[in-house]
Structure 1
Amino acid sequence: MAALNSQLNERDTPTDYSKNDIKSIAKAINVLLANAYALYLKTKNFHWHVGGRHFRDYHLLLDDQAQQIFATTDVLAERVRKVGGTTLRSIGHISKLQTIKDNDEPYVSSSAMLCELMNDNKVFAAAMRKAHKAVDEMGDVATASVLETFIDEAERRTWFLLETSEREAD
């Protein structure tokens, strides 16, 4: 073990990406990771506080969506580590990087919750497409592949929220 440790140094990475590519990949994915946490918590917040005649349906929908969003966090963070980058370390770090805004309002109507989450998921999908383009240009097919799945999931969440909110208006 000592021999192995003496062969490793701080410049070693688990990949053949350049230091600049590693920093670029980590930066792009850490913003997505921060947004995943922000969107997860907002979705759970709305799940906990939703009300009205469609309470059960909305409560279950938002819980399912929150679980799906949370499931992305470990995959994204581990992807950053796999390429040799560092990832989020605290709630403060998340708050510095997130672009999805928190909602601390004491009351939000169910229809406003659905609309806000729909728009946030659209923003999240667009950010993932932008990151996908960047990592694809670096030849990082593994991260691009992960993002393709997560983009599809975000678009599905957006669609469900749209259809649910339109049904509310009917």
Structure 2
Amino acid sequence: MTTIDIGINEQDRIKISAALKHLLADTYTLYLQSHHFHWNVTGMQFRELHLMFEEQYEQLAVAVDDIAERIRTLGEAAPGTYTAFSELSAIEEVAGVPPANEMVAILARSHEQVIKTCRDVLRLAQQGEDESSASLVSDRMREHEKSAWMLRAML
């Protein structure tokens, strides 16, 4: 591969990429969680939650690709295995199928965790003068804040 000269020094690119890997893992784990709950939700709010979870996991699928491509743009390999994601993610997997109201609470907490991860990445991106990563992460943070708010409003 050729030298990367995009105005971000190598040390900053590596630090930002490492933080983005955590964000990718959190996002992918949340994607799986949302998809799992979409498939398995039951109860009085079935239709509303089924559709909401679908909307969220579809947005997350796009986000996963955007984050992975940003990592590649910075010259690092993007993780792509369950093992790597489980090591990097701060979101805990859910065993079994919880009741619908618990699914909502779990997803709200998971979105809040992704927001915290976004804040960590954003700090590093700003310090490294990486406006592209900062913009991506800021946009993601706003989406997760909105999703968390909507989920909390249902509790």
Aligned to 1:110: 100
1:93 aligns with 2:79: no
* Shift of residue 109, structure 1, vs aligned partner: 0.8
Aligned to 1:84: 75
1:160 aligns with 2:131: no
**TM-score of the two chains, using structure 1 as the length reference:** 0.87
Give the direction of change, closer, same or farther, for the CA distance of 1:134–1:63 in structure 2 (3 Å limit). Answer: same
Q: Distance in 2 between matches of 1:85 and 1:17?
A: 13
1:136 aligns with 2:126: yes
Q: Distance in 2 between matches of 1:15 and 1:96?
A: 30
Residues 50 and 110, structure 1, Cα contact 8 Å, conserved in 2: yes
> Highest Rg: 1 or 2?
1
**Which residues in structure 2 correspond to 1:1-170 (within 5 Å)?**
9=2, 12-105=3-96, 107-165=97-155
Unpaired runs of at least 5, structure 2: none
* Shift of residue 14, structure 1, vs aligned partner: 4.9
Aligned to 1:168: none
Q: Distance in 1 between matches of 2:123 and 2:8?
A: 16
* Shift of residue 73, structure 1, vs aligned partner: 0.7
Of stretches 79-88 and 49-58 in structure 1, the one that deviates more from structure 2 is: 79-88
Residues 77 and 87, structure 1, Cα contact 8 Å, conserved in 2: yes
Unpaired runs of at least 5, structure 1: 1-7, 166-170
* Shift of residue 71, structure 1, vs aligned partner: 1.1
- May I ask how many residue pairs the two structures share in their alignment? 155
* Shift of residue 142, structure 1, vs aligned partner: 0.7
3-state DSSP of counterpart to 1:51? coil
* Shift of residue 148, structure 1, vs aligned partner: 1.0
Residues 47 and 63, structure 1, Cα contact 8 Å, conserved in 2: yes
Per-residue CA distance 1:96-137 (angstroms, 9 max, x = gap): 1111011122x3111000001001101111110111011101
Aligned to 1:5: none
Which aligned segments of 4 or more residues in structure 1 are displaced greater than 4 angstroms?
A: none
